[in-house]
Amino acid sequence: MISRRTFFKLLAGTAAGILSLGGYAGGVEPLLRLETTRYKLSPRGWPKGRPLRIVALADFHACEPWMPAERIARICDYANTLGGDVILMLGDYMSGMKLVTGVVPPDDWARALSVLKAPYGVHAVCGNHDWWQDSQAQELRLKETVAHKALRAVGINAMSNSAARLGPADQPFWVAGLEDQWAYLTGNHRMRGLDDLPGTLAQVTDTAPVILLAHEPDIFPSVPNRVSLTLSGHTHGGQVNLFGWTPVVPSRYGSRYVYGHHEEGGRNLIVSGGLGCSVAPIRFGSPPEILVIDLV
């Protein structure tokens, strides 16, 4: 089976020869389009008559020239206009792409993210690239990364197998943030996660509803009914979606959770298509997006 990296390298090379496709996939969709994708649902465990609007952002992959700090700030300014009661970020602020002209330092992308504001705060988890691009965290097997520290330095709640009780006293809800499932590179294209789902949910101390943040959607089959909604990123909607066919999806479930709303056994998952690019600066049929989710 073709690897994700090999596929995107082949596609990037092909795009150079197919100008119409390459121009759109490399210059229009990843840079000039920004969708606002809206969902409205009443998940199990969410109290009737308790509306909550979530604005969710995923997979910035900050780098020059594709996702500079200035572009991140513009996206965040727009996100602030969407009326979110809470803003949730789903990981991968760092970029591992080779086809870049420069690195955006964590302090710079975090400063751009710091403009995000919402009544119940801004809460985030980190993703696999935040771990993979931190050489010290990999070498020393640290429990957190420079990305966690950069987020916290600007007042964003960077979660790591932790939970926070939010909302008014008479209508609380929990946000639980799972640490990354692919955190450590172990060789031979294998990864070891730091996720602790039981330990994270054990911090939920009452019956208020729970929203789970998990960068990779692969955890979803293990998520208990106690969780009203799981939010994930990571897949970029396939990044290349050829009229419903997503050739390469970084998930052990293939295309099962590649994008959008999934309901299984009454449990709900929404997977964001994300904002940036991984491996190659190409998007086709999967434009950058911000999620607006109304729970009712």
d(CA 260, CA 95): 23
Residue 89 predicted with pLDDT over 70: yes
**Mean pLDDT over residues 56-85, rounded?**
98
Average pLDDT along the chain = 92
Domain extent at residue 279: 4-295
Whether the pLDDT of residue 23 is over 70: the answer is no
Domain tally, the chain:
1
For residues 270 and 231, the answer to whether their CB atoms sit within 8 Å is yes
Q: pLDDT-based confidence at 18, cuts 50/70/90?
A: very low
pLDDT tens, residue by residue, 101-147: 999 999 999 999 999 999 999 999 999 999 999 999 999 999 999 99
Instruction: Supply the pLDDT for residue 189.
Output: 81
Of the pLDDT bands very low, low, confident and very high (cuts 50, 70, 90), residue 19 is very low
- pLDDT score recorded for residue 17: 46
* Phi (first) and psi of residue 175, to 5 degrees: -115, 125
pLDDT digits (tens, 9 = 90+) for 205-241: 999 999 999 999 999 999 999 999 999 999 999 999 9
> What pTM, to 2 d.p., does this model score?
0.90
pLDDT given for residue 33 in this prediction = 83
**Can you list the pairs that 34-37 forms with residues at least 24 positions away whose Cβ atoms lie under 8 Å?**
34/75, 34/78, 34/275, 34/287, 34/288, 34/289, 34/290, 35/273, 35/287, 35/288, 35/289, 35/290, 36/82, 36/289, 36/290, 36/292, 37/272, 37/273, 37/289, 37/290, 37/291, 37/292
The pLDDT-based confidence of 27 (bands split at 50, 70, 90) is low
Q: What is the pLDDT of residue 252?
A: 94
Residue 149 Cα distances to 62, 116, 228, angstroms: 16, 17, 29
Which tens digit of pLDDT belongs to each residue from 183-201?
Answer: 999 988 899 999 999 999 9
The domain that holds 64 is classified in CATH as 3.60.21
pLDDT at position 14 over 80: no
13, pLDDT greater than 70: no
Please answer whether residues 88 and 79 qualify as being in contact, where contact means their C-beta atoms are separated by less than 8 angstroms.
Answer: no
